[in-house]
Structure 1
Amino acid sequence: MSRIDRRLIELASPSGYLTRQRAYDAGISARQLRRRAQVGWIDQVGANGFVLASERRTKTVDLEASIAEIGGECWASGATAAALHGFDGYELRRPFHVTVMRGRNIERAGVRVHTTKEMPRIDRSVTNGIVLTSPARTVIELARSLDARRLTAALDSGLRDGGFNEDLLHRRIVALRSKGRYGIPLLLDVIAGLDATRGGESWLERAYLRITAAAGLPKPATQQVLTKALDKLVRVDFRYPGTNVVVEVLGYRFHRDPSQLRRDTERVSALVVDGYRPLQFTYEHLVESPQWVVETVRRLLAQISESPHTSGLGVVRDSDHGPAF
């Protein structure tokens, strides 16, 4: 085996593919590449790539060749990235899905080219030498085209295999949905459904408990029924024992419909009339502004501690379990 042959093996990806440019950058000339192809050491794949003759031509090689042919910033994405990340129910097949920066007009046989305004580093990944969207970005993109059942399977795969954790996924959802990305409402519905089937606290509730505990705030009681509003029980997410401070987290939805707004108003009004000091925080507050959430709760608890009758409201004792219904 010649020095050039050994160098080609070193340069090739795990699937045996290497680009012409990668070989040039390593000091291997076009003439040397042609010679290795003539003697059957490498096989040309497209105009800009080769595969080691000792390796079987696979779909992975075809994908690498497609990305090399497109050139520039190009990432495997969508169902193709899902297969590379090992999401349940996906296998690598044509048409390959790739994403490039907006403004490029590209068409390739067997490839679906998507565009994006930006691809921050946190949304990029590399698997076996192939550049692709990160697991979290992949799930968010899949939400545009999947039904709830398949999206749930993809979400479970990413969480199970450590591709992302819930905190990272929620940070990326908040960042990307502010840009009007289609499909995120379905993804949030799927997450809410998983929270419900698991039982116990939702991610939002766990996030609130985690950030307030880390800040040294007292631990609140959870899921407390405190009063009624128009004959409907008012259950709050958190109540701080020994005070009239209650906290609610408002769910994943960016916009609340008129019936939800009306119900929120009724609930808050009933709580205020019964002497409680309600605070409400949105999904975005918990993800993007946790320090503000902590300081807001801390300030109100301090007010109650310094003056139990602030604003004419008394302290609700631990023994009080709300009014008799």
Structure 2
Amino acid sequence: MSLALDDYLREHDGVITLDHARDAGMSNDAVNRVVRAGRWRRCTPGVFFAEDHRFTDAARVRVSVWSYGIEATASGLAAAWWLDMTKFAPEIVEVTVPRDRRLTHRAGTRLRRRDLASVDVVERRGLRITAPDLTIIEAASRPGGGARVMDSALQRRHSELPRLWRAQLRNKGRHGAPRSRRLLQAASNGARSEAERLFARLLDRAGFTGWKANYAVAGYDVDFAFVGPMVAVEIDGLAFHSDADDFHRDRKRQNAISLAGWQVLRFTWLDLTEYPERVIAQVRLAICGV
């Protein structure tokens, strides 16, 4: 086998397609001989894995996408993982293909049929994936993704809200669009008021009474105050520390409230939507000590 082919396999996680092998100068017969010799494993028709490599998550994702042809694109949580936006590769690899393609579903994948605009597709390490902006809003709308994906992406400067909104509007009819729109609204102007309404509903359902909203403490209005036990609760939207000036203002405000003798709890939109039971438990502990 040529050095060029060895380099290709090393750079592509040990995965190669029949077309790539032909481009490297191999005939169909040569590919079949390598498969019969046990050096390559046929994963799907036209997609092979070199057995002298380790079959990693990257190899699994690459096989899943390439098994649907050259126009297939990794999307959702698979694309988010490929872009290092999430820590773990999803068990089921989401793949988006053009709407008019009639393809057989393959095990371990979730097939989406949709025509993607060129601006919404990029290539990373030789694999077609959805571009970062579309990846963020799609991954955030998937089970296992949620608000934490969008929050992390905004905090780490993977994107900015105006770009995410443009990606959302370009892809209004896609699966999960309503949920990602709600998350974008939570991260946009007015996020705090929406998060505050959600927190108030959590308090009501948990049976808390006697709290006051927008209560003055040490020259600041705290979002929620339990006056007797002197517990202040501050609510933030998604990516609430994305601006350095905001971060320092928040610290100054929180220090002043604490120095006035109040215990301060902070919760984000991510806390309220993903971990509501934990939020209520912490409020109860602060107020009642249990």
Does residue 27 (structure 1) correspond to residue 28 (structure 2)? The answer is: no
Match of 2:179 in 1: 183
Does residue 50 (structure 1) correspond to residue 48 (structure 2)? The answer is: yes
- Structure 1 stretch displaced more, 151-160 or 176-185: 176-185
Match of 1:157 in 2: 152
Whole-angstrom CA distance in 1 between matches of 2:90 and 2:142: 17
Encode CA deviations 1:71-127: one digit per residue, 9 max, x unaligned.
Answer: 142111112112222224x522332111111133432222110121x3112211223
- 1:136 Cα deviation after fit: 1.2
Match of 1:138 in 2: 135
- 1:173 Cα deviation after fit: 2.7
The one-letter code matched in structure 2 to 1:84 is W
Match of 2:119 in 1: 122
Find the residue that maps to 1:103 and give its secondary structure: coil
Q: Closer, same or farther in 2 for the Cα pair 1:48/1:194, shift >3 Å?
A: farther
1:65 pairs, out of 63, 66, 78, with: 63
Q: How many equivalent residue pairs?
A: 195
8 Å CA contact 2:77, 2:142 repeated in 1: no
Q: Closer, same or farther in 2 for the Cα pair 1:17/1:145, shift >3 Å?
A: closer
Which residues of 2 match residues 86-125 of structure 1 at below 5 A? 86-88=84-86, 90-106=87-103, 107-116=105-114, 118-125=115-122
Encode CA deviations 1:160-199: one digit per residue, 9 max, x unaligned.
Answer: 4443233322322333348894324312233138954279
Find the residue that maps to 2:41 and give its secondary structure: strand
8 Å CA contact 2:17, 2:48 repeated in 1: yes
Whole-angstrom CA distance in 2 between matches of 1:8 and 1:123: 30
Which residues of 2 match residues 185-264 of structure 1 at below 5 A? 185-192=181-188, 196=192, 197=236
Q: Closer, same or farther in 2 for the Cα pair 1:167/1:84, shift >3 Å?
A: same
Match of 2:220 in 1: none
Give 5+ residue unaligned stretches, structure 1: 204-325
Find the residue that maps to 1:109 and give its secondary structure: coil
In the superposition, the TM-score normalised over structure 1's length comes to 0.52
8 Å CA contact 1:177, 1:184 repeated in 2: no
Query: Whose Rg is larger?
Result: 1
Find the residue that maps to 1:28 and give its secondary structure: coil
Give 5+ residue unaligned stretches, structure 2: 193-235, 243-290
Match of 1:78 in 2: 76
Q: Closer, same or farther in 2 for the Cα pair 1:194/1:5, shift >3 Å?
A: farther
In the superposition, the TM-score normalised over structure 2's length comes to 0.57
Whole-angstrom CA distance in 1 between matches of 2:108 and 2:174: 29
Whole-angstrom CA distance in 2 between matches of 1:179 and 1:92: 22
- Provide the alpha-carbon RMSD of the alignment: 3.2
